[in-house]
Structure 1
Amino acid sequence: MSVMDTVQDYYVVGSYDDTADTFVPEDDDDCRSWRRLDYGHVYASKSFFDPSKNRRVLWGWANEIIGIVGEQADVEVVFEIPALEHADVLEPNWLLDPQSLCGEKGASVPGSVGPFGLLVMASGDMQEHTAVFFRVFRQNDKYKVLMCTDLSRSSTRDGVYKPPYGAFVDMDIEAHSGIISLRTLVDHSVVESFGGGGRTCITARVYPDHVVNGNSHLYVFNNGTGAVKVSSLDAWEMATATVNVLPDGLIAASSVSRAQAY
């Protein structure tokens, strides 16, 4: 369900009666308590079945501000946290609104375990950058991982929409030996990030001013007091899409090539 009041998509698991053509959700009827495929700037999604790879592909919308250009990159990084026990205590009410929590505890706010993650679309002087990061909190004898995309310093332009985005990652990081992965794809103004192997996805629009006359940079960062190890990092600069055009002018196929950047 796409709710235009919030410009967000929700989904719920339930039972469908083919005869009566009715659907009964397992959870609450209030869609605001339902789950989301993407906790960022995605709405009005549609899907189709791809028989060649036996998969379902979902397309979403992310509206844009006109006249902005950007760059393209694909980054995969694995973080390892040696010690979790000193994580900040999670307040119960924070579970209700992780997006506001990401706004309150942005990338520049130090914590015990985090914030740590990536700075993408960063200018040389760091006046502009978009932070995609994690924080680990302690809740009783368990740990909760918060994933955020912080747009507060993504652009120096006036009037640019720069909200915080965030969600808790559905994983037991202690059972994963303190290891969590992050993959971020930058395609011009779109920054799409997958945390914990895709358990949480956040899509955002960013419009830094520096891309018009300069190059963007990528950094790994840790603003927490606890140590965080980068187990692996692979980054690629994506080339322009190659479009195959038939003699009659019809497009036969398209592909995107990638060249590894060091």
Structure 2
Amino acid sequence: MIYKGIYHLFYQYNPDGVVWAPPVWAHSTSTDLVNWTPQPIAIEPQMEANINGSWSGSATILPGNRPAMLFTGLNSKYEQVQDLAFPKDLSDPYLKEWALIAQNPVMFPSPENNINASSFRDPTTAWILSDGIWRVLVGSKTGTTGTSLLFKSKDFVNWVQTKSPLYSYKLSGMWECPDFFPVYINGKQNGVDTSVIGPHVKHVLKNSLDDTKHDIYTIGTYKPKKDAYVPDVGFMNDSSLRYDYGKYYASKTFFDDTTERRILLGWANESSSVADDMKKGWSGIHTIPRRISLDKHGKQLIQWPISEIEALRGKPTRKPAQVIKGGSLVEISGVTAAQADVEISFGIHELKNIEKFDASWTDPQLLCSQKGASVSGGLGPFGLLTLASKGLEEYTAVFFRIFKAHDNKFVVLMCSDQSRSSLNPTPDKTTYGTFMDVDPIHEGLSLRILIDHSVVESFGGNGKNVITSRVYPTLAIHHAAYLYAFNYGSESVRITSLTAWSMKKANIA
């Protein structure tokens, strides 16, 4: 959230180790969402309602610019309940001290509503309508049906569960970390406050699927009179749209009213072993904050790194437009490849040997693993080899493949191939993939990649699809890391623009 010009990030934290344990809430502040200063622990076990840990939650700004924090506590019976906390001193812009109210818990799992006390967590930011009543969602499940439970309150302290959830979907499992917010239609990029409704907005319902650890979302219509949500596409499961097709989970948006942006932050867990995590002394990161908006067609969200990250850029390295022939690669020199920001665009002209798309290829991640960076095709693979060693013993390849479907339309596959990311045998080297809704011939294809030692965040199609990878090279580290543009397909592609920047370190002391 933002309060008096200061950004506040609260997150689950184990102060005693690098592996998971019943968490407290750590707290960091920033003036630019890039450089962060740690503050004192915000929420620790303080009462029966959170004696066994404080899990995820959300901030809501109440009238009078008063922040309120709803979060999941684990009580003495190890039941999940919802607790409420307020800052002790509103005059302190850093909000260093927080206090739980005596009435906690303010929401609890109701047996008569068949709510399992182990599946009741992660309240959203609340919204208020013209009736003066606050509404908030809590993630849950009934059997294997994922559900967003709806609670109402007039005073933000006394909450009552509604008879029907906002939305549910069968066989989707536990819904964690729900998020519900409006977005402007018609391609307007400004964000909008959580309580705004009307014909000029659509609503986004996002959930984190506990079964698959994917963050999915749908776009639809919120009907306030019925307190119901109707998605444009009538399902919400692992086939839904995703914020990120890589290592990304438990994300949350907030509305920045000073810049009129809706900003998304997410958690990228490690892919390394617990032993490796303990050796390096930390685990788990937050990804670069993203500005999000609805695309002009209203079909999906567009995500882009916040502009503040560009303050870390050094002098740009630009390459002239050039044709990159099949089976070749071009080194991108003049940039610190272990910590870089790269933007590259491709133009497609050769269509002679384009591969045919098989209708049975419904799983893009599986397809990327079968047709990795080393598997030559017609149009593709082409893209960037990031965190590459000089002899290419190690690299993380982010690339496109283009196929021709039976209806003469093109299918674009975007992949992040980690199979050769490290000579260390212990990390998970899953290859990630997604189909991208773009016309490669008329629009071209673009990639923006943020590289930061063990992190590769890739934005395809000007933010239509994103893949975050966690990799741990042993050779391609620091100044021994290299960056290449490559084309291992048989057809030539044209690099229409290429700019790269070495990135300075952010201050996260």
TM-score by length of 2: 0.45
- Asked if the contact 1:79–1:232 (Cα under 8 Å) also holds between the matched residues in 2, the reply is yes
One-letter code aligned to 2:400: F
SS in 1 for 2:247: coil
- Asked if the contact 2:353–2:490 (Cα under 8 Å) also holds between the matched residues in 1, the reply is no
One-letter code aligned to 1:12: T
Q: Distance in 2 between matches of 1:52 and 1:144?
A: 40
CA displacement at 1:30 relative to structure 2: 4.1
CA displacement at 1:226 relative to structure 2: 0.1
CA displacement at 1:68 relative to structure 2: 8.9
Q: 233-242 or 162-171: which moved more?
A: 233-242
Match of 2:464 among 199, 213, 222: 199
Q: Does 1:73 align with 2:340?
A: yes
- Asked if the contact 1:16–1:24 (Cα under 8 Å) also holds between the matched residues in 2, the reply is yes
Partner of 1:175 in structure 2? 442
- Asked if the contact 2:453–2:478 (Cα under 8 Å) also holds between the matched residues in 1, the reply is no
Partner of 2:222 in structure 1? 16
One-letter code aligned to 2:251: S
Aligned residues: 241
Q: Distance in 2 between matches of 1:52 and 1:84?
A: 48
Q: Distance in 1 between matches of 2:224 and 2:417?
A: 44
Q: Does 1:227 align with 2:492?
A: yes
Q: Distance in 2 between matches of 1:99 and 1:15?
A: 30
Relative to structure 1, the CA distance from residue 92 to residue 239 in structure 2 (aligned partners, 3 Å threshold; closer, same or farther) is same
SS in 1 for 2:439: coil
SS in 1 for 2:360: helix
Q: 228-237 or 203-212: which moved more?
A: 203-212
Q: Summarize deviations over 1:48-99 as a string: whole Å, max 9, x none.
A: 11122211000111112322999311011111122234310000011x2000
Match of 1:138 among 404, 423, 443: 404
- Asked if the contact 2:413–2:436 (Cα under 8 Å) also holds between the matched residues in 1, the reply is yes
CA displacement at 1:214 relative to structure 2: 5.3
CA displacement at 1:116 relative to structure 2: 0.3
SS in 1 for 2:233: coil
Partner of 1:41 in structure 2? 247
One-letter code aligned to 1:97: D
Unpaired segments ≥5 residues, structure 2: 1-206, 283-336
Q: 75-84 or 102-111: which moved more?
A: 75-84
SS in 1 for 2:368: helix
CA displacement at 1:27 relative to structure 2: 2.1
Relative to structure 1, the CA distance from residue 212 to residue 180 in structure 2 (aligned partners, 3 Å threshold; closer, same or farther) is closer
Q: Does 1:51 align with 2:257?
A: yes
Q: Does 1:118 align with 2:384?
A: yes
Partner of 1:210 in structure 2? 475
Q: Distance in 2 between matches of 1:32 and 1:102?
A: 18
CA displacement at 1:204 relative to structure 2: 0.7
Unpaired segments ≥5 residues, structure 1: 244-250, 252-262
Q: Does 1:26 align with 2:291?
A: no
CA displacement at 1:236 relative to structure 2: 0.8
CA displacement at 1:171 relative to structure 2: 0.9
- Asked if the contact 1:68–1:207 (Cα under 8 Å) also holds between the matched residues in 2, the reply is no
TM-score by length of 1: 0.86
- Asked if the contact 1:68–1:189 (Cα under 8 Å) also holds between the matched residues in 2, the reply is no
One-letter code aligned to 1:225: S
Q: Distance in 2 between matches of 1:185 and 1:14?
A: 31
- Asked if the contact 1:121–1:128 (Cα under 8 Å) also holds between the matched residues in 2, the reply is yes
CA displacement at 1:29 relative to structure 2: 3.1
- Asked if the contact 1:28–1:34 (Cα under 8 Å) also holds between the matched residues in 2, the reply is no
One-letter code aligned to 2:340: A
Q: Summarize deviations over 1:221-260 as a string: whole Å, max 9, x none.
A: 00000001111111111011257xxxxxxx9xxxxxxxxx
CA displacement at 1:22 relative to structure 2: 2.4
Identity of aligned residues (%): 48
Q: Distance in 2 between matches of 1:226 and 1:36?
A: 31
Q: Distance in 1 between matches of 2:446 and 2:256?
A: 27
SS in 2 for 1:106: coil
SS in 2 for 1:99: helix
Q: Distance in 2 between matches of 1:47 and 1:192?
A: 18
Partner of 2:127 in structure 1? none
